[in-house]
Amino acid sequence: MTAETETQTTAGSCCGGGSCGDGAADAVQLGVTAVYRVTGMTCGHCEGAVTAEVSALAGVSSVKAVAGTGEVTVVSAAPLDLEEVRAAVDEAGYELVGLA
């Protein structure tokens, strides 16, 4: 399974040196990124259909479908159930092969 979790921490944000508020670092959780292989996408409309269905899954914050490569990159708060992703891709009219 190809997935990674990323966390980015920035100190200070708007003031540059943490002089605002209590000076604590702001942590931004970027989530889990997974890349799936989908067959049947041939154009922007296909990408949009897959993106819309997968975006509707609970916890998903970002979806990028690329017809030319057949890859769909999904960022979510936690790892997604493969069968839920498969059902969303199927609902869009395409086939989920698995993780890329």
CATH number at residue 8: 3.30.70.100
6-41 pLDDT, tens digit per residue, is 433 333 434 444 444 444 444 455 799 999 999 999
φ/ψ of 40, rounded to 5, equals 105, -15
58-88 pLDDT, tens digit per residue, is 999 999 999 999 999 999 999 999 999 999 9
The tally of CA atoms less than 13 A away on the side-chain side of residue 34 is 19
In sequence order, which ranges of the chain are alpha helices (DSSP H)?
A: 44-55, 82-92
Question: Could you give the CA distance from residue 68 to residue 65 in angstroms, rounded to a whole number?
Answer: 9
Q: What is the pTM of this model?
A: 0.72
Number of structural domains (the chain) is: 1
Find all residues with CB under 8 Å of 7, minimum gap 6, and list them.
27, 28, 29, 30
Domain limits for position 32: 3-99
